[in-house]
A and B are shown apart, each in its own frame.
Chain A
Amino acid sequence: MRRLRATLRAVAESILAAAIGLVVAGFILKAWGYSPISAYIALFEASFRDLYGIAGALANATPLILTALTFAVAARAGLFNIGAEGQMYFGALAAVAASLFRLPPGLHLLVALAFAGAAGVLWSLVPSVLRATRGVSEVISTIMFNWIGRYLAFWLVANVLVDPYRAEKTITVLPGSRFPTLVPGTDLSYAIFLAVAVALLVYFLLWHTVTGYEMRAAGANPDAARYGGVRSAGVIVLVFLLGGITAGLAGATQSLGRPPTYAVYSGLPQISNLGFDGIGVAMIGRNHPLGIIFAAVFYGGLQSGARVMQLFAGIPLEMVRVVQGVIVLALALPELLRIFRILRRRRVELGGER
């Protein structure tokens, strides 16, 4: 009951924040001479009205759910892992690499996913070990590893996995290891189920297993966790392991499950920033796997809405980004409702003084 109420409040707050963001952004649009009404009609028509739109939002949400989980799991355990970006690169590439050999369809997909998870883990290994053994802040090591990973991924794309006939991209993933498209005529694939399933698994892990209990304990109060027999090094390694897997899978959903490419391009244009966006999604979803699913769909909807606002309302993408920024800023005030309540109480207080 108590939990339900807390959840409802969190949801209400997020919705209110989004609404406030939209209103403020509406004024900005207006100020620049665009019509906010038609912009928002375009936005919602595009992303949430019909199946086509919803599919677009979900397709965008797929990788974001996974990279957000990377951040959220760590945050729950008191770590600030922003390495999803780099780990995701290798996940995407490893999934492609699985197409260097042939396997029966289906199995091939599983193997590619395993590759991706393993690659993500591999790339999170050094920061995790540095943190566990030398206390090196994961903030710095993961930022550095993101950049290092970026260049190594460039190299892998251009030299190792390169498509011999089209050097701007890697070899194309074999059909047998792709996620089939879920809604024909859209870019939504079955990968969304993977993302949601992983989120549910993470939820189960965090709140229904002793391992999760220990992770959360380490995050909420490291001293008490130690007192309760939780080994912090173990938790760190586990967090990075999990984070690496989810980030790796996030990459895989892009190279295996996003038509039409099924390959990674030079310069990584289709996967860049998914890791960073995931941080925003995790924050909006309050680092809770279920909240993350909704936050990712919302964020994904904004992204696909952005395309359509250009098309129908003539609003340039840059302006759409401004709008997104404002909405996210409104979301930063997690206790909007509380603020309203404080205003109310102020009045009581003043009344009482008389």
Chain B
Amino acid sequence: MPEPLLKAEGIVKVYPDGTVALRGVDFDIRPGEIQGLLGENGAGKTTLTKIISGLLPPTLGRILLGGEPVRLRSPKEALARGIGMVHQHFALVDDFTVLENIALGTGRPADRALRASVAELMERTGLRVPLDAPVENLAVGERQRVEILKVLSRAVRILILDEPTSVLTPVETDELFGFLRRLKGEGVGIVFITHKLREVLEITDRVTVLRRGEVVGEVLTRETSAEELARMMVGAELRPRGRRPVELLTDIPRERREAVRTGVEPVLVVEDLRVPAEGGGEAVKGISFELYPGEILGIAGVEGNGQTELVEAICGLRGGRGSARLRGREILGLPPLELYRLGLAHIPEDRWKYGLILSFTVAENSILGRQRSPRFLGPLTVLRWGEVFAHARELIARFSIQAPGLEAPAKSLSGGNQQKLIVGRELSKEPDVVIAAQPTRGLDIGAAEYIRDLLLGLRDEGKAILLVSADLDEVLELSDRVAFMYEGTFTAVTTPAELDRERAGLYMGGMRG
């Protein structure tokens, strides 16, 4: 076995607020190996890799590079020693161009020489992005590529990727994997973090599993199985799934739901919806569909193809032309509060942008959008705090949200619990139509499963659900019908039964069905 490039020994991390994220972790990275890092939300994966890449100091423990103990005080020092990291949340400057962002990462000016070498790098890796586009205009997948290019444009011996595939299409994921294999061949040590077991099994050589800040297992990939990994992660057998793996989609009781749909009026009818794009042009170019009660209509597609704009236009957060009728009533241009009164709930894709006010308490967040409902609104707009707390308590109980308290700021909740809070709040609006955008992004298996079950349950209660997700598996698993979105239009609308991953990939890539 080759000498490890890097060894982390006895790493303990206590955050300033007292959260113990790592409790003595040993970890090593070897050349020419892809090392999977697995664990539930909050297990400490990001924390560990941030320490290795110099972004955070460990509270205790030490890091050895080539056998020598080192102190990495900043990412700059880590980069200088060949440690590069692609972060879970993009570390890109939005209004910089791609080239400027890469320049930032390389410490070189954004000049012609850099452009040439980046072009060469893109050629070599197959990761292509428009160099002069501002990052904010890029699709998420493209941003991910920028992140990787940024790191690769420095000579790295250790490459850490924190959930890089959560925003990629299957095709893009495959491309990335191909590229990682090549890097591995060049002797680079790679750490790969993901929540998708399938990917772990496919790409890694070795897997380390973290649970609650401790290493609970380290196995060679070829000697393990999805079940074993899952068991290590959660510390017990996964509870039986409420749905089946994609491969077995055929026996979804479709007939039942089609029966519901016949003779039923659609609740939401969208006709020729057009939404202008921020940089000019149209992001949504004339989309029409109908949404029936008791069904989940999935919208699959690579992010950045107009899904965001589509959802925001329907939900009153963005202007659009055309028509969207909720039970016959035109809703385009109505303010969000009015939409909620009409029975529309919106689980936004970006929980930090729209979903939550991070500095507000859990209780305060639990009524966002409902603050003017008669339950909470007293005379002279006095807020009935008692009712608000009662409501928040209900949500916490009903959706098993783990929160330090009703008056804790929302930012102190873990990602999964933040999402549960949003979902719970939206569902407490008792909607007929739920627009759910990326409802499980970044959640661990348990939390994601919970949300998916909720959505299925809602459907079975007869609600209409529009599910937008970049996770193809998820869309295929949950939806009764699937639409594929590409550059602002639907390329195909079909049922999952008539699909396989290849076809789906093609539709997502722009082929019309």
Contacts and interface: CB of A to CB of B under 8 A. Distances in A.
Interface stretch (B120-128, B365-373, B500-508): B365-373
A228 B335 contact: no
A213 B364 contact: yes
Interface string A309-337: 00000000000000000000000000000
B317 interface: yes
B382 A214 contact: no
Given A229-B337, A352-B60, A213 B371 contact: yes
Interface in B44-68: 57, 59-62
Contacts of A210: 371-372, 376-377, 381-383
Nearest to B364: A213
A2 interface: yes
A343 interface: no
Contacts of B287: none
Interface string B342-381: 0000101000011111111000100011011000110011
Contacts, number: 86
A217 interface: yes
A70 to B, nearest CB: 21
B336 A228 contact: yes
B381 A211 contact: yes
Nearest to B425: A228
Given A228-B336, A229-B369, A217 B360 contact: yes
Interface string A204-225: 0000111111101100110111
Nearest to B406: A2
A340 interface: no
A348 B369 contact: no
Interface residue SS majority, chain A: helix
Contacts of B382: 208-210
A353 B359 CA distance: 35
A34 B16 CA distance: 42
A30 interface: no
Contacts of B407: 2-3
Nearest to B335: A229
Best-surrounded residue of B61, B340, B356, B368 (most CB of chain A within 10 A): B368
A208 B385 contact: yes
A349 B59 contact: yes
B62 A229 contact: no
Contact of A2 (B335, B337, B408): B408
A212 B405 CA distance: 22
Contacts of A229: 335-337, 340, 369, 371-372
A349 B372 CA distance: 50
Nearest to A227: B354
A227 B380 contact: no
Nearest to B60: A352
A75 to B, nearest CB: 13
A353 B9 CA distance: 11
Interface in A336-354: 338, 341-342, 345, 348-349, 352-353
Nearest to B370: A228
Interface string B297-337: 00000000000000000010100000000000000000111
Best-surrounded residue of B346, B348, B360 (most CB of chain A within 10 A): B360
Nearest to B365: A224
B355 A224 contact: yes
B360 A227 contact: no
Contacts of A220: 357-360
B378 to A, nearest CB: 8
Nearest to B351: A224
A156 B354 CA distance: 48
A353 B355 CA distance: 42
Q: Bin the interface of chain A by size.
A: 20 to 34
Contact of B59 (A3, A213, A352): A352
Contacts of B335: 229, 231
Best-surrounded residue of B12, B372, B376 (most CB of chain A within 10 A): B372
A1 to B, nearest CB: 8
Nearest to A209: B381
A224 B377 CA distance: 20
A224 B380 contact: no
A293 B267 CA distance: 54
B317 A226 contact: yes
B357 A221 contact: yes
Given A348-B59, A349-B57, A214 B336 contact: no
A2 B407 CA distance: 7
Nearest to B336: A229
A228 B354 CA distance: 8
A264 B405 CA distance: 52
Contacts of B408: 2
A348 B354 CA distance: 40
Contact of B356 (A3, A224, A353): A224
Contact of B371 (A228, A341, A342): A228
Contact of A223 (B60, B346, B354): B354
A216 B409 CA distance: 14
Contacts of A208: 382-383, 385
A318 to B, nearest CB: 41
Contact of B358 (A216, A221, A226, A345): A221
B357 A217 contact: yes
A87 B418 CA distance: 42
Nearest to A211: B381
Nearest to B409: A2
A227 B370 CA distance: 11
A345 B407 CA distance: 27
Interface string B408-433: 10000000000000000000000000
Contacts of A223: 353-354
A224 B357 contact: yes
Contacts of B355: 224, 227
Interface string A57-85: 00000000000000000000000000000
Interface in A163-219: 208-214, 216-217
18 contacts: A3-B407, A208-B382, A210-B371, A210-B377, A212-B383, A213-B371, A220-B358, A221-B359, A225-B357, A226-B354, A227-B317, A227-B348, A228-B368, A229-B337, A342-B16, A349-B57, A352-B59, A352-B61
Interface of A: 2-3, 208-214, 216-217, 220-221, 223-229, 231, 338, 341-342, 345, 348-349, 352-353
Given A209-B383, A220-B359, A228-B337, 9 more contacts: A209-B381, A210-B381, A211-B381, A221-B358, A223-B353, A224-B353, A227-B346, A229-B372, A338-B16
